[in-house]
Amino acid sequence: AERVYAPWLDMEEEMRCRRIPLFSLETGTEISSFDFLGFSLQYELLITNTLNMLDLASIPLRAAERGLAHPFVVGGGPCVYNAEPMAAFFDFFLLGDGEEAVSEICDVMIAWKKEGCPEGRLGFLRRVAALPGIYVPSFYEPQYDENGAFSGVTLLDRAARPAVYRRVVKNLDETPFLERPIVPYLGIVHDRIMLELFRGCTRGCRFCQAGMMYRPVRERSADNIVAAAIRGLAETGYDEVSLTSLSTTDHSQIEEILRRLNRAFEGKGISVSVPSQRLDSFGVEMAELVAGGKRGGLTFAPEAGTQRLRDVINKNVTEEDLFGAISAAFSAGWRRCKLYFMIGLPTETDDDIKGIASLVQRAYDVAKKSVPEDQRGSVRMSASCALFVPKAQTPFQWDGQIPPEEAYRRIGLLRRSVKYRAVDIHWHEPDGSIVEAMMSRGGREVADVVETAWRMGARFDAWTEFFSL
């Protein structure tokens, strides 16, 4: 098993000029010679990079055009919970947790090759389709009514299951951490040890795909986490450990874990970061445990500006929770705070937009009152607003998305409603969210759009400097 990454634009140009095929990180082997090429599809706007990598590896873009000499292209990750827009490009998909399923897929491949590859690629796909969690798109044909709306699916092969259910690993302690990651010689985004404390989330926000698809909550034990952190640092030489989960401070043993890590790393110059805080004073207490003398910025996610809309989206926090957390944080030495919101949530009105401005300004007032008078000039409060995208397999998947012109109107209303110059408002450009929604809720007709965009030069669409609607 080896790794491969999308080359940056300058390297891609060099590879195409010199006719260097895409190759693996570990041994420099041409990707086209592997049995499988697997993509972890984390974000909808990266689909053109996927096509570009297939082309650089000289693998036909469409599964129907591949022969026995080509790898089987498999997709996993969050985006495959609606695999249809990408179905034409993949031989099969793995839905859900991959730790156990990957070994089973390899066993099927080994047996099929030992028998001389009976029935060719179709023979392998029939065998692998028998595994739980495997979806082979070519075994299914979508049906549409007279208005062009999706109406159902026809099974095309005897191996096709009527329904494909996701894989769930029951005991995370039995799945090993990656304790010896490659240590890069250049700056990367996550330049630290990353440890997953638990999978799933107890919150149940109705817009959140990750909270739905990683259910149920499964925790790693405190012993497992602490031992992995110590081993990982010894193997890599990193000086930071990031405890990552959807809501890290919801782990039932989080306080014990943080205290044990603090004792283990005391005096060694090693920092522990908790990227997702609970929106209450306990979350701030846990942030204090890991911050030591460093007080960067804290991030909280109220998501909506009014209690009415927070109830609609099932975000079970109140203004009192937020103000209590901010008061505790700024009293404890923090001076910067960012609040995350969404615009365009189902049932949202202009009053909810104005509520964001009101909430942020009142949060700023609470923060200022919580610090000594001579330090109030250093208090910073910002709000970051994303556009709601209906995601597959969530309660809000059918609710639609507001058009870009309406999104800009609501952003303008928000900006006019904020009267404090010390409060910064940031927002995501709606154009990218429109494509994200198309990929999240579209059908197989989207594949032609994606391929056309790629042929017209679409690359790294998640980078704002490259995105073109």
Contact 284, 277 (CB under 8 A): yes
Looking at residue 296, what is its pLDDT?
66
Per-residue pLDDT, 295: 65
What pLDDT, on the 0 to 100 scale, is given for residue 269?
A: 86
Helix spans in 19-155 (H): 47-56, 101-114, 120-128
Least confident of 1-5, 186-190, 228-232, 455-459: 186-190
Residue 131 CA from chain centroid, whole number: 25
Q: Which helix (H) or strand (E) holds 300?
A: strand 297-303
- pLDDT given at position 35: 97
Q: Name the band, by pLDDT with cuts 50, 70 and 90, for residue 99.
A: very high
pLDDT digits (tens, 9 = 90+) for 1-20: 999 999 999 999 999 999 99
Most confident of 115-119, 291-295, 419-423: 115-119
Q: Give the pLDDT band of residue 283 (cuts 50, 70, 90).
A: confident
Q: How confident is the model at residue 206 (pLDDT cuts 50, 70, 90)?
A: very high
List helix spans (H) across 243-313. 254-265, 281-291, 307-312
Tell me the two tokens of residue 204.
């149940």
SS3 136: coil
pLDDT confidence band for 223 (50 / 70 / 90): very high
Interatomic CA distance for residues 98 and 121, integer angstroms:
22
Q: Is the pLDDT of residue 301 over 80?
A: yes
Is residue 323 within 8 Å of 363, Cβ to Cβ? yes
pLDDT at 289: 77
By CB atoms closer than 10 A (0-12, 13-18, 19+), residue 272 is buried
Give me 43's structure tokens.
């974000």
Mean pLDDT of the 203-211 span: 89
pLDDT at 278 over 90: no
Q: How many other β-carbons are positioned within 10 Å of the β-carbon of residue 158? A: 8
pLDDT tens readout for residues 158-171: 999 999 999 999 99
Q: How far apart are CA 226 and CA 85, in angstroms?
A: 41
CA distances to 27, 329, 333, 363 from 370, rounded to whole Å, are 56, 9, 9, 11
Q: Are 78 and 41 in contact (CB under 8 A)?
A: yes
- The DSSP call for residue 133 is T
Residue 21 has pLDDT above 90, yes or no: yes
What average pLDDT does range 271-281 have in this prediction?
76
Assess contact for 252 and 192: CB atoms under 8 A. no
Phi (first) and psi of residue 267, to 5 degrees: 75, 5
pLDDT of residue 181: 82
Average pLDDT of the residues in 423-429: 92
What is the rounded distance in angstroms from the CA atom of residue 164 to the CA atom of residue 338?
40
Lowest mean pLDDT among 320-324, 329-333, 453-457: 329-333
Nearest alpha carbon to residue 60 among 105, 90, 36: 90
Q: Is the pLDDT reported for residue 382 higher than 90?
A: yes
* SS3 category, 336: strand
- Could you tell me the pLDDT band of residue 288, with boundaries at 50, 70 and 90? confident
Averaged over 379-401, what is the pLDDT? 93
Both tokens assigned to 196:
């997953």
- Provide DSSP, 81-111: GG-GGGGGG-SEEE-B--TTHHHHHHHHHHH
Sign of CA dihedral 117, 119, 125, 129: negative
Residue 188: predicted pLDDT: 83
Average pLDDT (245-249) is 86
Integer Cα distance of 180 and 34 in angstroms: 23
Reported as type and span, the H/E element at residue 407 is helix 404-417
Which ranges constitute the DSSP H helices of 150-277? 209-213, 222-236, 254-265
Does 132 or 328 have the greater pLDDT score?
Answer: 132
Per residue in 436-455, pLDDT (tens digit) is: 999 999 999 999 999 999 99
Average pLDDT of the residues in 94-115: 96
- CA atoms within 13 Å, Cβ hemisphere of 165: 4
CA 310, 316, 320, 321: dihedral to nearest 10 degrees? Answer: -130
